[in-house]
Structure formats: structure tokens, C-alpha cells
Structure 1
Amino acid sequence: MSEPTSGGSSSRRPLASYVGRRITPSNNSNAEENEVLDFEYFGLSPRGPPNLEAFLEIWSVDIHPNPDDVNKRQHHTALYDCSNLIVRRGQSFQITITVSRAFDVEKDKLWIEFLIVYELILIFCFKVNSDIVYWNRQKDGSLIKGDVKTDEIGKLILTKEIESDNRKDITDQYKYEEGSQEERMALDTAIQHGVKKEQAVTDVTMDVSLDMHVPENVLLGTNFIVDVELQNNSNEKRSMTVFLSGNVVFYTGVPKIEIKKETIKVTVEPNQVHRAQVRIKSKDYVDHLVEQSILHFFSSGHVDETGQTLVVQKAVPLLIPRMNMRAEGPAMFGHEVTIVIEFTNPLRKPLEHLVLRIDGLDSRKPKLKLFSILPENATLTTRELFVPRKRGQRKVIASLDCSALRQVVGELELNVT
């Protein structure tokens, strides 16, 4: 630090003017400072607005997710009640990026990154144009391509109609019509950006076809027939061995238990068709059903002369009988209404420990009723009283559940006046 001067008129050394802070503490006495101070340099920051010509800033990114925007109109997804963007695989969509200045294609670079995370802003539709390819495993462990099914995925896509309980076919909103020019272009685009063209699935030439016919409406607890059809399209005899397997499956398609196993050996004359029938009895599957009551049949065949492999599979959702519901008399606001619920046991055995749930009776929780047993072919009839507290349309729903029979439901539309 400095020493005090002897004369009052002595000259003072000018203090340095620097930007920063002192390295040492300032003098806390009355003595004058006549030496150059040491400062820690901070550096100078530019003042005023930045030069917009030197920077390229992303101001906004618009993926046009609204129903009236171009993406949902071109992809036919505007009717879905979803605020996010819904696009179809293999079809282009538009993105608008707003920047701070004119974009120079030669100098400026722009990176666009799509992240697939849990809360994805882009929702890609399911794969509805895929092929089913069956592979044969050889004794040495190698795989040889067998039968190929090109038209079994994406046949029918359904949803619930607006303000109705009916179903609506929306297949054309997920995919183009099979064989159309738009469908071919979408497939070529998917192959170009995904699977290499030389690895694309192609049809396998076969002179023998295998098909399986199952009744469309099979009521749970009844017997039915599975027809296996073998058609020889060649001018020579064909000897074939066909294996049929029937399983009870979960809703995911995972087998639970095999209920039927059949082997068919036959020789088909040239350009002829052979049909074999396999009978499925209710006692084979009724004790093994799970929630969705689905049976799955898988049939594979082998041609002795050519070594061709034939494969076909069918899923059979069994029809579950519904409960009958009706109201005795008109439904009036503030007046007691009687609802009658009836259900007939379709199985050839009694149902035990039944639980009936009724919802829509102006109560917070569904009402439960317990029944110990329902004999074979017997009808369960119960009545429920409630007082409507609101006018207008309403729905009462009932469900019946037991270990041998699942998802038995019934519903009743009421117009409360």
C-alpha cells in the first residue's frame, strides 16, 4: 500500500481504469492509493442485439397434427379423437420448420431427429401390410423358406361408430386397397427404406394348395366341424401328409393346451380336390377355455413327390351367449323401475359360484349378486329395482362371471321421461 506524502500539493498518480475485480482487498484507511492496482480480468461482453445474419435459430416446428391439417387429411386419420399426429407407414408427411432468417442451402445445415420414446408425438399405425412366412427347420438346424401368405394380415380393421354401439370398417384409413397403385407405391417405399429389395418376400410357386374351413359363428358349448381341403393343381398324382392341431389360446395367441391332434394321409388325383372333416366336441375344449374363449387350429402338410410345404391356420372366437334384459313398464323420473335379467346355461354341466354385477343404477359402485349353482340348461331369472334420478337416455349393463364361463354380458337402453 502507499505511504502518505509530506506535501499537500504533491501530484497524484492516476488510478487505473480496468474492467474486473481487485485481486487484493481495497484500502480501508484514509491513506491515498497512488499505485497501479491489480485487477482480475473479466472480459468484455458485446452490447446490443445480436447480428441476425450470423446466426440461424429454430423458432418453431409444426408437424400439422390437427384434423383439418394436411397430414391427417392425406393419411385419412382425421376422424380419430387424438391430438397427436397419426401417420401410416410407407407414406410421406409434411413438417414445417420456421427459422430466424432466410435458409441458405449451400452454407446452412439442418439436422432433424425423430426420437421414439414413451410419450411420442408421432403415432405410427400398426403394420397391416406384412406377409406371413413359414420356415422349415432341417435336421442340421438350418431354415428353409416354406409357405408364404401375402393377404392374411390387415384384412379387416374395425372400430366403434360414433354415438352408436355398431362397428365400423376403417381398413381403408390404415392401408390402401390391396393391389392398387397407391398400395404398390407404399410397399416400394417401405422396401427402399427398410428391407432390401433382394430380401423382400416373394410368392412361392406351388401346385398343391391347402385350405381349412371353420364355421363363422360357433356357439360356446356346441360341437362343430373343421373341413380340411387339399387341391391338386398339377397333372400328376400327389401324395400328402397333413397334420392338424387344435389349441385353446390366450388373447395374445399363446397356446394354453392342445385339445385336438389329427393326421391325414391321402393321395389326390390330378386336378382334383380332397376334403377331410375333423369333428370338434364341446367336451374337448369347454373345461380349458380362458377369458376370450378362442380356439386356434394349425394345419401343415407335406407333399411327398415335390417336398412342398403347405401351412394354414385359423382362429375361432367362440360366441358367448348374452343375457336378456328388459324393463317392466316405462322408465319415469323419480319412479321405481323393475329390470328383469335372464340367462340360460348353455353348457352340458352346472355352473357354480356365479357372480352377477349390475352397473348404471344411479349408484357409485356396481351392485353384486351371488348365486351358488345354475343347473344344466336351466334359466336364471332375477329382478332389480331402482329409481332414476336423471332424465334422458341411459344404459344399464350387467355381467355374469364364473370359473366355467367368462364375459357373459347384457345391456339395456332406457329412456327416462
Structure 2
Amino acid sequence: MCSVMRLLGFPCRVVTNFESAHDNDRNLTIDVYHADYGVRETPSPDSIWNFHVWVEAWMRRPDLAKDGKYDGWQVLDPTPQEKSQGVYCCGPAPVVAILNGETDLKYDTPFVFAEVNADCIDWLVKADGSKVNIFSDTARVGQNISTKSVGSNKRMDITDSYKYREGTEKERSVFHYATTRDLSKADAIEEEGRGSTDVVTPGIPPQPPSQPMSMYFEEVTPPKNCEDVRLMLVLQSKSSAAMRLFISIRVQAMRYNGSPAGTIQTEVKEETLLPGKELSVPIQVPFSAYYKPMMECDIMKVSALVTGKEKPDNTYLAVHDVVLLDPPITITVSGITRLNREAEGEVVFMNPVTETLKECTLTISRSGLLKEDIEVKIPDLKKNNRICVKFPFVPYKPGRKTLVANFDCSTLRDIKGSGTVDVKL
């Protein structure tokens, strides 16, 4: 879409938003529901994607204001997540309107505002069906909003053009202003036919009451794929009385779009937190437990739901995303590499697990160095054995290039390594 817009004469650029919210019901919050004991968990239509990509096009918006207030960069999403006016489309939404929380303006401004600045609310669903706000995070959504710098391959951070700095009064006041806008006003201006999706009137999210305890996760060691993951749940008492606690720990494999792919493990512990003290609860996730669920996933989500034994209404939540580091795979090129002359590269990978790796393939690729990908079938790789694959290639473009190696097998997916090649004339 960026290329087509440029062809038509529109200045255009690609934008990436990390921790991108998918606000299904348009209430400007991402709602996650947790089950109380004996209560069936309620799935949430909302989610947070690892990242989402759209384009910005520079254009005038006389349909919104004659004084040019909303001219400039407009969000256009060629891969939208929801229907707009009955079809999958999104935008143009003025970036300046998103910055200032003007969610009553067309087109699809409320959805884009939520993508970059929604609040995250965790609810505990009680046995009677009532919901209690147990955790709020106002800063998670919309991280490192980025585009390519002009004239270089460096990343340019444009987060400040979409929202004011997290934690500032200005950012909070804009969010509260956005929740007061009449989103149906924008719908009425736009063409009819958005569909039958129910629209929830936004409101200022209720905040959880102050708690006599806080908690968080710590990574004991850097989490590496093929090794056991070790974490520590740290509870800190702010109370003058001891608290007997039920601690329910859940580990899930998460897809890139924020939806769970499966539960890796669960455990329930009973602990006592002494007044004014700190309690550390160890958590270990064995490789044998997570490797199958994580083969097609990007993130391991660890959550702890803590409930007071004597006071079950006292509920606490901590959530931590674990991103596994891949085992090393190296790719090197020996000697000086010259344009249109044959060179030789080498890929080395060692089996990092105790079992034999089967159905192994190695794929080597890079534009400017290889006109076609090289795919190599690898024999079964036993414990502590390594492969060493040498390959010839003829560079057809000069300059600094990167070779990429991708290793796949029945146990591991998308283990990547890269090496830089300076192609001289």
C-alpha cells in the first residue's frame, strides 16, 4: 500500500506499533477476565498483539476542518483487524486527532487511538457473575511506535506524535477526554453499514482499591529456549498483620495476536506473608513442559492470582511475559567478498537439547547475495552433536549485506542467526 500511495503522489511511510491493542468492543480498554475459584473463565474479545503495522499518508483533511487543523499524517491500515462500514478497512484517521483524544472524528479514530493508548484492565469474575477490577495498567499499550528514518536504515521513534508521554498528567487527561467523546457521532458522519457490532460507551476505567500487598516477577536467569525457565514471584507486605494466601500460578503459550495457544502448567500454593516482610516464591517451567506448546508461539505468559485465605475479597494479580532467547547459530563468510565473484559461507549449529533432533532443515537467504534461497536437509542431530554447512554464493549487489540462516526441526522452530557481509567492487 505504501508503494501504491507513493505512485499516486502521496508522501507515505510504514509505521510499526509494538504492544498494539485490539479493542474489539470500542470502549478504549483491553479487558481480561480471570476466573474465581469454581468459576468458568470468561474469554475476552480484546487482545494485545506483539506488534501491528500500518501506513501513514500525508494529505489534507478539509472534510474535518477548513483551517487545516487535521492536515498532515493520516493512518491507513491495509490489514485492518475489524470491519468498518461493513468491510475490512481502516482510516484515514488524523494522527493529530489520535494524539489529542478526538475519538469522535472519522475515520476509525477510536480504534486507532485504542491501538496506541488503551488502558489494560484485569477483572476477577466472582461466583455470582459480578466483576472486580484487580489490576490496571495504563502504560503497556503502544510501545516504540516506529518508522524508518529518512536517508538511513535507522529506526525513528514517533511515539510522541501519537500520544503524550506515559505517566504524565497530559496523557491521562487526553485519555479521559477520549472516553467522554460520543463515538456514535463519528459513526453517523461515516456511511451507514458498519455492521451489527455492539458499541460500548467508553468511560473512565475504575481503578482497583489500594492494596496492603504488592507483587512482581523476577527472572532468575535469562530465559533461554531449550533450557528450564526459572522465575521468582516476589510478594511485599504493606500490612501490619500476617496474611495467609492462596497463590494460583498459570503459565500459557501465547500467539503473536495475544490469544492463548494452550496452558503449559498450573500450580496452587499456600503461603504466609509476614507483616512488613518480603516473600519469594520460586517458579520453574521445564523445557519438557513448554517446548511443544511454544513451537508455534512467541511469548510465554506467566500470571499469579493471589487471594487472601481469611479475606477472599483481597485479590492481587501479577503478569509477566517471557520471551525465550534462541540457542546460538552462527553464519560467517571467510576472506574478502567481491561483486560477481564466488565466495563461501559457513553455518554452525549445535544441538542444545538432550534428545535427537529430527526432520531438520537449514534455510539460507539474503537479497543481493543469493538469487534463490539455499535449503539443506540435515540428518538427525544427536545430543551434543553439531552441524557445519558450507555453501558457495555469488554476490550480485555491492555494499553491506546480511546473510540469514534459519534452522527448523521437529522440536525447534525458526532458530535464526545472521552474519554481515561487506561486498566490495
With the shorter chain as reference, the TM-score category is: 0.5 to 0.7
**AA aligned opposite 1:351:** L
CA change 1:204–1:283 in 2 (3 A) is: same
Aligned length: 327
Using the TM superposition, give the Cα deviation of residue 305 of structure 1 relative to its aligned residue in structure 2, in angstroms.
3.8
Q: Give the equivalent residue in structure 1 for 2:141.
A: 154
Aligned 1:299-318 pairs, distance under 5 A: 299-306=304-311, 307-318=313-324
Q: Give the equivalent residue in structure 2 for 1:213.
A: 218
Question: How far apart in 1 are the matches of 2:244 and 2:111?
Answer: 49
Q: Deviations over 1:294-338 (max 9, x none)?
A: 211121011134421111211111111242111111012232211
**AA aligned opposite 2:378:** F
Aligned 1:17-416 pairs, distance under 5 A: 62-63=60-61, 85-87=94-96, 89=98, 91=100, 114-116=106-108, 124-140=112-128, 142-154=129-141, 156-157=143-144, 159=146, 162=149, 170-193=158-181, 200-215=205-220, 217-306=222-311, 307-360=313-366, 363-416=370-423
**AA aligned opposite 1:373:** D
Kept after mapping to 2: 8 A contact 1:191/1:200: no
Question: How far apart in 2 are the matches of 1:258 and 1:405?
Answer: 19
CA change 1:388–1:211 in 2 (3 A) is: closer
**AA aligned opposite 2:344:** T
CA change 1:188–1:75 in 2 (3 A) is: farther
SS in 2 for 1:351: coil
**AA aligned opposite 1:89:** I
Using the TM superposition, give the Cα deviation of residue 199 of structure 1 relative to its aligned residue in structure 2, in angstroms.
5.2
Question: How far apart in 2 are the matches of 1:62 and 1:416?
Answer: 43
SS in 1 for 2:95: strand
Kept after mapping to 2: 8 A contact 1:146/1:310: no
Using the TM superposition, give the Cα deviation of residue 125 of structure 1 relative to its aligned residue in structure 2, in angstroms.
4.7
**AA aligned opposite 1:388:** P
Q: Give the equivalent residue in structure 2 for 1:53.
A: none
Q: Which has the larger radius of gyration?
A: 1
Using the TM superposition, give the Cα deviation of residue 130 of structure 1 relative to its aligned residue in structure 2, in angstroms.
2.9
> Which shifted more, 160-169 or 241-250?
160-169
Bigger helix fraction? 2
Kept after mapping to 2: 8 A contact 1:214/1:314: no
Using the TM superposition, give the Cα deviation of residue 382 of structure 1 relative to its aligned residue in structure 2, in angstroms.
0.8
Question: How far apart in 2 are the matches of 1:282 and 1:414?
Answer: 35
Question: How far apart in 2 are the matches of 1:391 and 1:151?
Answer: 47
Using the TM superposition, give the Cα deviation of residue 390 of structure 1 relative to its aligned residue in structure 2, in angstroms.
3.3
Question: How far apart in 1 are the matches of 2:138 and 2:96?
Answer: 22
Question: How far apart in 1 are the matches of 2:260 and 2:221?
Answer: 21
* TM-score normalised per structure 2: 0.66
* TM-score normalised per structure 1: 0.68
Q: Deviations over 1:250-271 (max 9, x none)?
A: 2233333322222121222222
Question: How far apart in 2 are the matches of 1:165 and 1:286?
Answer: 35
- Which has the higher relative contact order, 1 or 2, with Cα contacts under 8 A spaced 6 or more apart? 2
Question: How far apart in 2 are the matches of 1:364 and 1:338?
Answer: 15
Using the TM superposition, give the Cα deviation of residue 148 of structure 1 relative to its aligned residue in structure 2, in angstroms.
2.3
Kept after mapping to 2: 8 A contact 1:398/1:409: yes
Bigger strand fraction? 2
Kept after mapping to 1: 8 A contact 2:60/2:72: no
Gaps of at least 5 residues in structure 1 are 1-60, 94-111
Question: How far apart in 2 are the matches of 1:123 and 1:258?
Answer: 30
Question: How far apart in 2 are the matches of 1:174 and 1:402?
Answer: 41
Question: How far apart in 2 are the matches of 1:274 and 1:323?
Answer: 39
Q: Deviations over 1:158-198 (max 9, x none)?
A: 54654777766554343212332421331231122158797
CA change 1:180–1:216 in 2 (3 A) is: farther
Q: Deviations over 1:173-226 (max 9, x none)?
A: 432123324213312311221587975322422112232223573110112322
CA change 1:389–1:267 in 2 (3 A) is: closer
SS in 2 for 1:188: helix
Using the TM superposition, give the Cα deviation of residue 235 of structure 1 relative to its aligned residue in structure 2, in angstroms.
1.6
Gaps of at least 5 residues in structure 2 are 1-58, 77-90, 183-199
